[in-house]
Amino acid sequence: MRLLIIGTGGMANSHATNFSAIYGVSLVGGVDVDPGRLTAFCAQHHIERQFVSLEEALAWGEFDAVANVTPDRVHYPTTMQAIAAGKHVFCEKPLATDAGKAMEMTEAIEQAGLVGMVNFTYRNSPAVQQGRALVLSGAIGAVRHLEASHLQSWLVGNHWGDWRTEPKFLWRLSTGHGSGGALGDIGIHIVDFASYGSGLDVAQVFGRLKTFDKAPPDNRIGAYQLDANDSFTMNVDFTSGAIGTIQATRSAAGQMDQLRLRIYGETGSVEIVYDTGQSSLRACLGEDVHKATWRELPLTPVDTNYQRFVAAVRGGATLEPSFRRAADIQKVLDAAIASNASGRDQGVV
């Protein structure tokens, strides 16, 4: 498979490293509007061809698929161009900035008969894959309740760098620079993690978004107005009748990057954790329910999204996480935004 990488910022390095490690995959070109960044990226990853526009790359056309690692608001136009050119697409999350555009992209790639997948990176955790299988097997009975959280701390710690001085952080705090805040950045991950891990679909949301004062007196640093949400909470109703809570923040001191999901069923419970690269899975099942005893379960490695995308292209059929899945998750985020604005429950449609 011959792969073109669109956008050569920080996350593109992960794409290049992971795809180049898969047998039979060749990185044949890079695209970026910043020539200096493009040249450095292509030199680092031994990519021969460089293009300063997607139009140039599509005119050349000697590739099978694209990895779209452009800024969020650019996903829609660049992906639609790639689909029109007959290319398979592996897109960074979010698929689009709203569900309408995400569904348009979904329908376009499905009608074209192309593979379209989205990089929900925490799907690479064996804990969420095996925890989901356990729930779907009926081991905990019907799910009644869940709680999910995605906790980061880069607004209160400098372990990844100083957000006050680095554009790679500042843009994530500014809606004017394309940020959807914590909801759009890490919220999309924890909503997928919770829904996928539990096997449940969200029906209704009561959402609250919060932006904290971070740079007095006007919450501005240079060109960046710091108006994007920093934390959110959701009360969620699922189509099955179960309920739960989903939350995320960038201000959880002591947590670098932790996703935790607890799923409580009629006859047992499961806890799925991804914590800064490490996964764990615990369960309270059978007679242990009567003693409130939790046991650690062994994990086995799973294929990454990168590997699944390559397998999907080779097999000619989309695998999960698909464009359609990403569009459905975007509907939940849109509902949370609408709920926050109205102060009322919002159905997911």
CATH code (residue 223): 3.30.360.10
Percent with pLDDT over 90 in the chain: 98
How many separate domains does the chain show?
2
Q: Do 71 and 170 share a domain, yes or no?
A: no
What is the pLDDT averaged over residues 264-271? Answer: 98
Considering Cα of 15, then 21, then 22, then 28, what sign does the dihedral take? positive
Considering Cα of 326, then 332, then 338, then 341, what sign does the dihedral take? negative
For residue 349, is pLDDT > 90? Answer: no
Q: CA nearest 28: which of 57, 59, 52, 55? A: 57
Task: Give the pLDDT of residue 182.
Answer: 97
Helices 75-84 and 99-111 cross at an angle (nearest 10°) of 10
Place of tokens 């999350």: 93
Q: Do 85 and 229 share a domain, yes or no?
A: no
Beta strands in the chain (DSSP E): 2-6, 26-31, 49-51, 65-68, 88-92, 116-119, 143-152, 202-210, 220-221, 224-225, 231-238, 243-249, 257-265, 269-275, 278-284, 295-296, 346-347
CATH code (residue 73): 3.40.50.720
**Where is the domain boundary, 85, 103, 121?**
121
Task: Give the pLDDT of residue 102.
Answer: 98
Band (10; pLDDT cuts 50, 70, 90): confident
For residue 310, is pLDDT > 90? Answer: yes
Residue 333 belongs to a domain: no
Q: CA nearest 329: which of 173, 118, 150, 152? A: 118
**Where is the domain boundary, 121, 144, 177?**
121
Q: Do 148 and 91 share a domain, yes or no?
A: no
Task: Give the pLDDT of residue 178.
Answer: 87
What is the pLDDT averaged over residues 168-189? Answer: 93
Band (158; pLDDT cuts 50, 70, 90): very high
Q: Do 185 and 281 share a domain, yes or no?
A: yes
Q: Do 116 and 134 share a domain, yes or no?
A: no
**Where is the domain boundary, 99, 121, 143?**
121
Task: Give the pLDDT of residue 104.
Answer: 98
- Residues of the domain holding 220: 126-301
The model's pLDDT over 231-262, given as tens digits with 9 standing for 90+, comes to: 999 999 999 999 999 999 999 999 999 999 99
Residue 42 belongs to a domain: yes
Q: Do 175 and 88 share a domain, yes or no?
A: no
Q: Do 206 and 294 share a domain, yes or no?
A: yes
pTM of the full structure = 0.95
The model's pLDDT over 94-135, given as tens digits with 9 standing for 90+, comes to: 999 999 999 999 999 999 999 999 999 999 999 999 999 999
For residue 317, is pLDDT > 90? Answer: yes
